């Protein structure tokens, strides 16, 4: 990972913890039905980091409350990963396509809220590559996060997850940071 990538990752984690510390006074149970839309950043890990620098995209997530602290989730998004410069040069030299194809992850899962606003979640589904090289991979992602309410109907959802896409062409793995705006009615 490049030096700037390490600093970006550290900055994002520090920002997450400062935001959580500033908002920790917000109490109440965040386990209620809501929908959120947000921005996603991906920081490749393992072998994936040897091919890609970072990823970015957007996602929509719906939550349906089934118990006092548990929500079922469904999400869809769009992500693109940027090739590392050395990989892009090698692909160019060999006459291969260097334009990154987008990926459409679609997942179902569950969120467990603890201490009111904090949550742990797990989602599984499929990650579908779009463009020239259409393929489908098994997708999984455990998440830790916080829901920061602005009012009874609006809030921010901030989550840090590890995500993997495993298919016949190999595996892509990354840490994902999602910052989303949520709408839903807290009882």
Residue 141 · residue 176 · CB < 8 Å? yes
Q: Quote the pLDDT of residue 184.
A: 92
What is the average pLDDT across 161-175? 91
CA angle 85, 100, 158 (to 5 degrees): 95
Condensed to tens digits (0 to 9), the pLDDT of residues 99-138 reads 777 899 999 999 999 988 999 999 999 999 887 777 899 9
Q: pLDDT tens for residues 44-76? A: 999 989 988 999 999 999 999 999 899 999 999
pLDDT, averaged across the chain: 86
Confidence of residue 96 (pLDDT cuts 50, 70, 90): confident
The two structure tokens encoding residue 26: 């917000």
Predicted pLDDT of residue 25: 45
pLDDT for 131 equals: 75
Spatial distance between the Cα atoms of 47 and 76, rounded to a whole number of angstroms = 25
Structural tokens at position 81? 């990963």
The CATH number for 3-183, chosen from 1.10.357.10, 2.40.160.20, 3.40.190.290, 1.10.10.10, is 2.40.160.20
Are 182 and 174 in contact by the 8 Å Cβ rule? The answer is no
pTM of the model: 0.81
pLDDT at 88 over 70: yes
**Per-residue pLDDT band at 165 (split at 50, 70, 90):** very high
* pLDDT for res 145: 96
Please name which of 16, 130, 141 lies closest in space to residue 81, comparing C-alpha atoms: 130
Name which residue leads in pLDDT, 178 or 5. 178
Q: What is the enclosing helix (H) or strand (E) of 157?
A: strand 154-167
Of the chain, the percentage scoring pLDDT greater than 70 comes to 84
Instruction: Retrieve residue 83's tokens.
Output: 């090739």
Domain boundaries, the chain: 3-183
Output 22 or 85, whichever has higher pLDDT. Answer: 85
Give the separation between CA 117 and CA 170, rounded to whole angstroms: 36
């Amino acid at each position: 990972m490049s030096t700037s990538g390490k600093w970006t990752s550290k900055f994002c984690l520090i920002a997450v913890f400062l935001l959580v510390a500033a908002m920790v006074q917000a109490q109440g149970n965040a386990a209620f039905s809501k929908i959120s839309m947000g921005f996603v950043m991906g920081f490749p890990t393992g072998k994936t980091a040897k091919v890609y620098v970072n990823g970015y995209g957007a996602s929509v997530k719906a939550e349906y409350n089934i118990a006092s602290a548990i929500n079922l989730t469904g999400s869809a998004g769009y992500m693109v990963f940027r090739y590392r410069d050395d990989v892009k040069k090698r692909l160019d030299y060999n006459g291969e396509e260097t334009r990154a194809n987008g990926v459409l992850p679609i997942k179902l899962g569950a969120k467990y809220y603890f201490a009111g606003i904090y949550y742990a979640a797990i989602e599984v589904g499929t990650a579908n590559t779009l463009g020239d090289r259409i393929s489908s991979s098994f997708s999984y992602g455990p998440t830790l996060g916080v829901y920061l309410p602005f009012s009874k109907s609006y809030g921010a959802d901030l989550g840090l997850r590890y995500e993997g896409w495993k298919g016949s062409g190999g595996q892509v793995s990354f840490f994902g940071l999602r910052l989303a705006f949520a709408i839903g009615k807290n009882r």
